[in-house]
Structure 1
Amino acid sequence: MFLSSFEKMVAKRYLMPGKGEGFIFLVAGISLTAVMLGVAALIIVMSVMNGFRAELFDRIVGLNGHAIIQGYDGRLDDWENILKETKATPGVVKASPLIEQPLLGSFNGRVEGLLVRGMDRPNMLELKDKIVAGRIETVMQNENMIVIGSQLAQNLGLQLGQNLTIINPAGRATPFGTVPREISYQVGAIVEIGIFQFDKAFVAMPIADAQTLLLLGDKVGMIEVTSNDPQNINAIMEPLQKKVEGKALIVDWQTLNASLFETLAVERVAMFVVLSIIIIVAVFNILSSLIMLVRAKTRDIAILRTMGASRKSLLRIFMTVGTTVGALGTIAGLILGFIFLIFRQSIVNAIQFITGQNLWDPSIRFLNELPSRTDPVEVIVICSMALLFSFLATLYPAIKAANTDPVQVLRYE
């Protein structure tokens, strides 16, 4: 929408408060603030929701792979051939044997539930960047040494070099019944996965030690698969379905974590709809401020019409005034939203300090810190929506101003 110099001058004059127009300017300021808060809130919430999904995906899927080939009875027979066929499948980047079993752990009279994982050397080395104490190499070079999660170490009071007793209820059968199998392991490293539910139960050991603990012989429990396209994992794993039929079950990451990611998707849509209402309210404020401006400027509009201003000129002037308020609010919202996202964790910590409340309990929210990942497409959609609504709000007042009859207004002047 291109304006002439005359239209720009009038629009600029109407954007600034005139004598006796303080209330109209206040309403316009409230409208701008409301648009700013609406845009900022949408950007912040959508970025945080995207961050949640991305962080959970990276950490959960990064730990469990994109799919698993799991034996029906917890034991995968002929796993070497299945592993070879899996690695040869197009789209599969990595496949490795894995043992995973929930067990119990005991230390100094305290008992905690454990998630024991027997991992091969490459998978063990991937934990290296998550180490907070000790060394992965130490665990791999020595027998009966394990890696544990940081929260588990804290709950049990375990430190490097101390021993954790792992209890396997499915022990050896004796004439007096099944005797649980208890083996003591030395803590060689402590890791922080970043997901509370894992950190409070995670125990990793070389796959040979896990086979001994669980009496698996030379068998494994599953094969972990990583692909080059996690969103298309079903199609990638389809050729393996017939090959492992009757031996194992293929489960992808979407099925394993279906409830969690579906909940996040529903919450994401719900939050977008709810927070969009803030922008709609702001748009109604723009509408009301423009209507009051038109009423206050009725005489000026009539004079402009008698001086030769066209209806199209008046239409453009008032549309520019309203759209400018919306645009300034959108820009301010962008700046506010990005500032909040940059300092998000500091802001959360400051609020926690002031209120004395723990706003970010990782046991409830899975992750240890407030995540964020901004999607440029979503930002463009949010800004476009705010500008579009602001533009639509200007139509009625602008048409009303353009249709002003100067004869009727100036009859008694």
Structure 2
Amino acid sequence: MARNPAPFAPFEWMIAWRYLRARRAEGGVSVMTWISLIGITLAVFALIATLSVRSGFRSEFVSTILGANAHVTVYDVGRVGQQGQLDRAIADYEGWAQRVAEVPGVTRVAPLIKGQVLISLRDSSSGAEVYGIARDDLKSLPGIAQSDQAAGDLTRLDEGIAIGSGIARAIGAGVGDTVKLTSPNGVKTAFGTSPRVNAYEVVYVFSAGRYDIDRTRVYMPFAEAQAFFNREGVADELEVMVEEPEAVNALTIDILRAAGDRAQVWTWRDSAGGFLRALEVEDNVMFIILSILVLIAAMNIVSGLIMLVKNKGRDIGILRTIGLSEGSIMRVFFICGAFTGLIGTAMGVVLGCLFAIYIDPLFSFVNYVMGGGVWDPSIRGIYRLPAELNLSDVLSAVGLSLGLSFFVTLFPARRAARMNPVEALRYE
């Protein structure tokens, strides 16, 4: 007794391959095959490129935040002063810092003084936010101390100040220049408070990778900031760094308990949470839109297979007559569609990965062709268009493309398998 051949037998692959490479003169639909192939390729390429830019933008945004800002900021709940103002100064900041530093998972605690000033050099001036911090604490900030575009010597912070590259460009300052800082809350006299104006040497110019930080931030020695802003013996807040910033919420309770009853905390997720949630929503929407694009490209496979089934009606009738089962006919045309989806997906993955790897020269070329100004860091916050190639993003794109390609192929393949051989050969 003759046995049915195993699924996807060699002869099924041979017939499918012959149909795929058939010329127009032989009744083939190679043009539709190429259109389907190109459509799947471009759709997968667009999906991987978008996902990689999405991942890169989030990573760049988070890394620049964590590289130059506190993971957790500890404040005092505040007390009302004699004139009705709210005073949040931390008198026992050394004790607070020592207790918080003992919390498991905390890597560094630094007292800070913060204040607003006007920084000027010759006829140029700009607003700035001063961070008073100890030199060793500032050296542990990777976004500041390990900046690739930094100039000067950070070890000389006790002799001057460090300014962002954006401020340096705005007022035309460089390492070695002497700038003036003006604070409205300066010297207290019998006639009121007069502005305080001090001159400092610029010993370090940094680039933290974020436009808003580089454009506004100035670092000053902690003791000098206490004197400049009339904060003798106190600190405005504690800057806390942790081992795992992404899991910072798990440490907030322990930090609060260590700091004491008057403490409150503000994490980097609290400050950037709105933006991160907006990114997540945008990610989901973009994935859905691009999934529809992949589906549209996969529908080209259906069109090509329907034309192939129509043109190969006589062949189907002959194959059924000589003994091929409905399952074999279905698998032949399934291979035709699935092979197109597989090759298109592979080519799209290659193009998408190359785009993510070489995005910097590609974007530089686009910027050159457009005459510059394509990427405005003052709007987007970071200086370049980032891309990060993640295996999960590639696998999700591949799974979506192959799943849709295989699924839509089933319908025309089933139609071919159920074709009546008598009707197919009636007029032959």
TM range (shorter): over 0.9
Distance 1:220 1:2 in 2: 76
Mean Cα deviation higher: 131-140 or 362-371: 131-140
Worse-superposed segment, 256-265 or 325-334: 256-265
Alignment of 1:148 onto 2:168: no
Displacement of 1:75 in angstroms is: 1.6
Aligned length: 410
1:35 is matched with which residue: 20, 23, 40? 40
Cα distance between partner residues in 1 of 2:53 and 2:43 = 15
Asked if residue 293 in structure 1 is aligned to residue 308 in structure 2, the reply is yes
- Opposite residue 24 of structure 2, the aligned amino acid is K
Percent identity of the aligned residues?
A: 34
Deviation at residue 56 of structure 1 after TM alignment: 1.4
Distance 2:153 2:138 in 1: 11
Instruction: Compute the RMSD of aligned alpha carbons.
Output: 1.8
- Is the Cα contact below 8 Å between 1:31 and 1:285 reproduced in 2? yes
Shift of 1:193: 0.7
Gaps of 5+ in 2: 1-5, 79-86
Higher mean C-alpha deviation, range 276-285 or range 113-122? 113-122
Pairing of 1:274-285 with structure 2 (within 5 A)? 274-285=289-300
Per-residue CA deviation, residues 327-377 of structure 1 (Å, 9 max, x unaligned), is 111110111011111221111111121122421111112111221222211
Whether the 8 Å contact between 2:100 and 2:258 is mirrored in structure 1 is no
Equivalent residue number for residue 358 of structure 1: 373
- 2:286 and 2:319 map into 1 onto residues whose CA distance is 46
Q: Which residue of 2 aligns with 1:200?
A: 215
Please say if residues 23 and 29 of structure 2, whose CA atoms lie closer than 8 Å, have aligned partners that are also in contact.
Answer: no
1:256-311 deviation digits (Å, cap 9, x = unpaired)? 11222122222222221122221011011111111111111111111111111111
From 58, 61, 73, give the equivalent of 2:63: 58
Residue type at the aligned position of 1:113: G
Query: Map of 1:14-413 to 2, 5 A cutoff?
Result: 14-20=19-25, 24-71=29-76, 72=78, 73-126=87-140, 127-130=144-147, 132-140=150-158, 142=159, 145-242=160-257, 244=259, 247-413=262-428
Distance in 2 between residues matched to 1:122 and 1:264, nearest whole Å: 35
Does the 8 A contact of 2:64 with 2:209 survive in 1?
yes
The structure 1 residue matched to 2:15, chosen from 5, 10, 19, is 10
What SS class does the counterpart of residue 336 from structure 2 fall into? helix
Taking structure 1 as the reference length, what is the TM-score of the superposition? 0.94
Q: CA 1:203–1:21 in structure 2 vs 1: closer, same or farther (change >3 Å)?
A: farther
Q: Is the 8 A contact 1:319 1:391 kept in 2?
A: yes
Q: TM-score, normalized by length of structure 2?
A: 0.91
The residue type paired with residue 209 of structure 2 is G
Contact residue 161 and residue 187 of structure 1 kept, 8 A: yes
Contact 1:76 1:247 in 2 (8 A): no
Kindly provide the amino acid, as one letter, of the partner of residue 86 in structure 1: V
SS in structure 2 at match of 1:114: strand
1:78 corresponds to which letter in structure 2? D
2:419 and 2:398 map into 1 onto residues whose CA distance is 32
- Asked if 2 retains the 8 angstrom alpha-carbon contact of 1:315 and 1:402, the reply is yes
Q: How far apart, CA to CA, are the structure 1 residues paired with 2:48 and 2:116?
A: 40
Distance change (3 Å), C-alpha of 1:239 and 1:125? closer
Q: CA deviation at 1:34?
A: 1.4
Structure 1 residues 150 and 78: alpha-carbon distance in aligned structure 2, compared to 1, 3 A threshold: same
Tell me by how many angstroms 1:231 deviates: 2.8
Q: 1:128 to 1:242 in 2, by over 3 A?
A: closer
Structure 1 equivalent of residue 81 of structure 2: none
| CA distance in structure 2 between the aligned counterparts of 1:274 and 1:162, rounded to whole angstroms | 53
Residue 243 of structure 1: how far off its partner (Å): 5.1
Between 111-120 and 395-404, the greater mean CA deviation after superposition = 111-120
1:194/1:22 Cα in 2 relative to 1: closer, same or farther (>3 Å)?
A: farther
Aligned partners of 2:186 and 2:228 also within 8 Å: no
Q: Is the 8 A contact 1:31 1:286 kept in 2?
A: yes
Q: What code does the residue aligned with 1:132 have?
A: A
Rounded Cα–Cα distance in structure 1 between residues aligned with 2:207 and 2:239: 21
